Structure 1
Amino acid sequence: MTDGLEENLHAALRRAAERAPRAPGALSSRVAARSRRRRARAQALVAAAAVAVVAGGTGLAVRGAGGGSAPPVLSPSPAASAETAPGTPSPAALPEPVEKVWPQAVWKIPARLPGVGKIHPEAIIDDRTLLLTTEESFEKASAIHAYDLDTGQTRKIADIRTPKGVFASGFRVGEGRIVWQTVDEGSGGREGTKTVEFWSVPVGGGEPEAVTTDRPLKGRSDQLAVAGGKLAFSLWEGGVFTVPLGGGTVEPVPGADRHHILSWPWVGTPGDHTSNGEPSFGELLNAETGETSRAVVRPGERGLRCGVTTCTGGRGDGTRFRRSRDGSQERDLPPGASAESALDRFYIVNMPRPSDGEYLYDQVTGRSGDLGLRGVSLRAGTTEDRMVTYPFGKKHMVIDLERIAEGS
């Protein structure tokens, strides 16, 4: 089974579960529902796209861009009247292809490159450069490359060498370096036996260096971030930590023992996966300033999933909404909108039948773009991913959400 098909199957099953009566438990990183290792690799709006339905990560990303500003202080309106979502297409007027709506932010790149082989988009290095990985076997990365989106040229950054049962994932870019984790699956792949190590290499290329830690780290990271000369990471089981990029003592972030990285320095709980229907990332903590934010929840609401500034959820009548974390500025979302947003503004929306497709919806401008897929379900993520990427025939579709946001 190809990893693209596997991702689509996972995403389709997740979407079916979302349409069923809400049970305790929730979703992912990164945007696409990936296999467990792929999810860690990319966090993405990946799914935003198979997202890949790629924040990271999701894998999707804001990948490579920290969300350092605090949630805006807005005037709460206890029962803000909902406004109709602008730009919702009718069955007779479906959106134009995403590459026509936002040509400055969309690329189609080959799934295989000459002299490189099969590639996987992982992150955006800068406005014209994409970070790619190649595989020596299924989900086992063998090298990382820089891909020039203008010229199509590739440059190897580093080889990745891992022993059997050890997988590289969670690639991030920051402060002129690329960081990632390697996870030792341990005995039978059981969570309690996994261990994680971190690695770093300059964007310009070189030999990967281990980010040494003062003690072995059990488990695996669900999000990585680079800031202030440190590598920050959160564990799947909860807890946020930092370690100097050059290696050293692992320090827990005070007050974040149950938290996960959302968009550094913002960390929150309970994270993507909720056990009792709590709002995902309902509680936020700024790891640098200590500032906190608690999302407003009203009676009868369900499936609330929050970002740094906004939350998305469902009402008892089945309609969906988007509003600020303090409960103000509530607006309706188009029917079929995903449970998550990317960069607090982008959604994946199911098209009206019979098209059986999905489109990317920018809630801020009301513009929409057809993703070009039919019969598969993708998702957007609340992680820090700026990149949406998904298989598209013999190519990969790559969408830079920050470029869309900057142009609006």
Structure 2
Amino acid sequence: MNRSGDGDGAEPMNGSRDGTEPMYGRSEADLVRAFMSAADAAPEPVGNLLGAVERRRVRRTRRRVQSVLAVAAVIVVAGGGTAVARGVFSHRGGEGPILADAAATATATPERSASSTRKPTPSPSAGRAPGADIRPAAEVWPAAVSTIPAKAADGWRYQPITALSATEVLLAAESSFEKVGRLETYDTASGSRTVLTEMPGPEGVEEYFVQSIDAGAAHIVWYGTTPNNGDRWADFWVAPRSGGTARQVGEVTGEQAEVDAVGVTADSVVWSVSGGGVYRMPLGGGTAERIGGTDGLHLVSWPWAADVGERDFQKKQTKLVNLETMQVVEVKAPDGLETFRCGPEWCFGSGSSESNQVIAERPDGSQRRVLPGLHVQGQQDILARNLGLFHVSTVVGRDKRGEEIEDHSVPLIALYDPATGTLAGAGRRDPKGGSYGYGNSSSPSSIVYWDQGEKTVERCKTVDAEDLRRPSGVPTPTGKTRYCETTQEGGGKELTVVNLLAIP
């Protein structure tokens, strides 16, 4: 997931700055660069449409990834994909699935022999990937790993949110795609389910979608929007954490409705907005007020806020602020890192995608650790309890043709506990890709999950290149091309869950 900027200054579609060099006859690598530049510079659609697969709060990034995936049907995109589900409402009402919920990804390549497109098989002489020694989470933390049903008793699909305790998992039940109807808990110790609350929408509001949920000490809070009509409007709801009737706290419009994170205190709903700034509204209803001293801040998990939000892909984080005490924790990112984000206790970052190592350290730069064979995908690397989530490199070398040799025995992702220095593998990997998800709580999630029954399947066929989707303005290609679609199939019965609250 490329979380680069908005593409200002991108090269013209034909790959030259003056627009005179023709696209045809160039190498596939040149085409990839040209199309990716075009995707970055793609105009915004009318109204409000990965870097992130979260909220409309990263609207432009999702549009860019959609463009890249559309272009991928015209050019070569090497290797299998990884389906990353952010949990619940990853497309927020009609935007279309992007690298979420095992969404299909497509690749295409000019016609060639099967032997020339087949990926090399790792050989014993190729060695082992650095992540090959990472043990599965079920071995490292057996008390934290369990299975839960993928569907409610009435057939509604579960979307995991977060853990409420070492055995209780908070689940949203969907009656249909992205239409959440209620909140439930599943107790992994007893196997029992409990309905906490129904989740009604506001009366008279059409095309309403719940966006994000967060659990506080006494309440569960969520907010919803109408993303398909272009209105700057949002509302907030709360329900007792122990179960009970949900009620609407209030509505906001304008800048206050550009919510990028939500939380709840003993007496208020709190949220931050995409442009920076944190607001609160009494649980009993009333007028929203901006919390003093929060200009430019984004809620991480109450009471902590940072000076970077999910839109700030290239902005350096410099501080964390405790909004109850206004204590400021200064952050200084090490030189040479492309990604670096801090929670209250630990920071994680990495260099270029080729570096394959992650840096973990305290916000003050102390207790640095270097974790080889790992990389950050996007900036969603900090989970609850200060654990880091990283992707694991499969590459062990290159063959005589220069193609990567991969070791598919490594786990899909690694969970790292800096308090103990422990690494544990998670997710479901197969030779064509793999999938995992983490809950859609607004605060860093305390669960990671996957469907062990799903398999990544690739199907290829020869099609007319001109029939494939492409961004507006891209010249129509000609001839035949080999079109491959990779999807997740099977599964749907149960989910394997790593509950971070159950880690000793």
Q: TM-score, normalized by length of structure 1? A: 0.71
Inter-partner Cα distance in structure 2 for 1:164 and 1:219: 17
2:255/2:273 contact within 8 Å kept: no
How many pairs align?
Answer: 338
Indicate the residue corresponding to 1:126 in structure 2: 165
User: Alpha-carbon deviation of 1:320?
Assistant: 3.2
Distance change in 2, residues 1:389/1:220 (3 Å): farther
Output the aligned Cα RMSD.
3.7
Question: Matches of residues 227-246 of structure 1 in structure 2 within 5 Å?
Answer: 227-246=265-284
User: Alpha-carbon deviation of 1:112?
Assistant: 1.7
Question: Matches of residues 272-283 of structure 1 in structure 2 within 5 Å?
Answer: 272-274=310-312, 277-279=314-316, 281-283=317-319
Name the SS for the 2:206 alignment partner: coil
Inter-partner Cα distance in structure 1 for 2:348 and 2:220: 32
Asked whether 1:256 is paired with 2:275, we answer no
Q: Deviations over 1:66-123 (max 9, x none)?
A: xxxxxxxxxxxxxxxxxxxxxxx96595333222221111121121233353211112
Q: TM-score, normalized by length of structure 2? A: 0.59
User: Alpha-carbon deviation of 1:170?
Assistant: 1.6
1:53/1:378 contact within 8 Å kept: no
Indicate the residue corresponding to 2:339 in structure 1: 303
Name the SS for the 2:86 alignment partner: coil
Indicate the residue corresponding to 2:243 in structure 1: 205
User: Alpha-carbon deviation of 1:241?
Assistant: 0.9
Inter-partner Cα distance in structure 2 for 1:241 and 1:106: 37
Which residue of 211, 215, 233 maps to 1:173? 215
Distance change in 2, residues 1:152/1:367 (3 Å): same
Which residue of 190, 196, 199 maps to 2:234? 196
- Single out whichever of 301-310 and 324-333 deviates more from structure 2: 301-310
User: Alpha-carbon deviation of 1:15?
Assistant: 8.6
Name the SS for the 1:161 alignment partner: coil
Distance change in 2, residues 1:95/1:321 (3 Å): closer
Indicate the residue corresponding to 1:75 in structure 2: none
Inter-partner Cα distance in structure 2 for 1:32 and 1:92: 24
Inter-partner Cα distance in structure 1 for 2:324 and 2:294: 12
User: Alpha-carbon deviation of 1:312?
Assistant: 2.3
For CA contacts below 8 A with separation 6 or more, give which structure has more relative contact order.
1
Inter-partner Cα distance in structure 2 for 1:196 and 1:354: 46
Name the SS for the 1:212 alignment partner: strand
Which residue of 319, 324, 329 maps to 1:288? 324
Indicate the residue corresponding to 1:10 in structure 2: none
User: Alpha-carbon deviation of 1:248?
Assistant: 2.0
Asked whether 1:222 is paired with 2:276, we answer no
Inter-partner Cα distance in structure 1 for 2:166 and 2:58: 24
Question: Matches of residues 318-397 of structure 1 in structure 2 within 5 Å?
Answer: 318=355, 319-338=357-376, 340-342=381-383, 343-352=385-394, 353-355=406-408, 357-364=411-418, 365-374=420-429, 375-376=433-434, 383-393=443-453, 394=492, 395-397=494-496
What letter matches 1:34 in structure 2? V
Name the SS for the 2:245 alignment partner: coil
Q: Deviations over 1:138-193 (max 9, x none)?
A: 11101222222222222222222224310113222223322111112252xx4xx2
User: Alpha-carbon deviation of 1:240?
Assistant: 0.8
User: Alpha-carbon deviation of 1:314?
Assistant: 3.3
Distance change in 2, residues 1:296/1:379 (3 Å): farther
Inter-partner Cα distance in structure 2 for 1:379 and 1:214: 31
Inter-partner Cα distance in structure 2 for 1:117 and 1:228: 31
Question: Matches of residues 94-173 of structure 1 in structure 2 within 5 Å?
Answer: 94-162=133-201, 163-173=205-215
User: Alpha-carbon deviation of 1:337?
Assistant: 3.0
Asked whether 1:50 is paired with 2:84, we answer yes
Indicate the residue corresponding to 1:80 in structure 2: none
Indicate the residue corresponding to 2:53 in structure 1: 34
Distance change in 2, residues 1:361/1:169 (3 Å): same
Asked whether 1:183 is paired with 2:237, we answer no
What letter matches 1:373 in structure 2? R
Moved >6 Å (runs of 4+): 37-40, 214-217, 379-382
Inter-partner Cα distance in structure 2 for 1:216 and 1:33: 23
Name the SS for the 2:376 alignment partner: coil
User: Alpha-carbon deviation of 1:391?
Assistant: 3.5
User: Alpha-carbon deviation of 1:288?
Assistant: 0.9
Inter-partner Cα distance in structure 2 for 1:123 and 1:140: 18
Which residue of 479, 487, 498 maps to 1:399? 498
Distance change in 2, residues 1:105/1:346 (3 Å): same
Inter-partner Cα distance in structure 2 for 1:175 and 1:90: 42
Name the SS for the 1:402 alignment partner: helix
Q: Deviations over 1:288-336 (max 9, x none)?
A: 1111122113443332222222322335793431222112222212222
Q: Deviations over 1:200-225 (max 9, x none)?
A: 12234333211135877753422222
2:234/2:251 contact within 8 Å kept: no
What letter matches 2:338 in structure 1? R
Inter-partner Cα distance in structure 2 for 1:94 and 1:16: 32
What letter matches 1:135 in structure 2? E
What letter matches 2:428 in structure 1? L
- Give % identity: 27
Distance change in 2, residues 1:265/1:244 (3 Å): same
Inter-partner Cα distance in structure 2 for 1:119 and 1:50: 16
1:350/1:357 contact within 8 Å kept: yes
Distance change in 2, residues 1:314/1:223 (3 Å): same
Q: Which runs of 5+ in 2 are unaligned?
A: 6-31, 41-49, 60-82, 89-127, 395-405, 454-491
Inter-partner Cα distance in structure 2 for 1:194 and 1:140: 20
Distance change in 2, residues 1:92/1:231 (3 Å): closer
Distance change in 2, residues 1:38/1:388 (3 Å): farther
Name the SS for the 1:113 alignment partner: coil
Inter-partner Cα distance in structure 2 for 1:186 and 1:100: 45
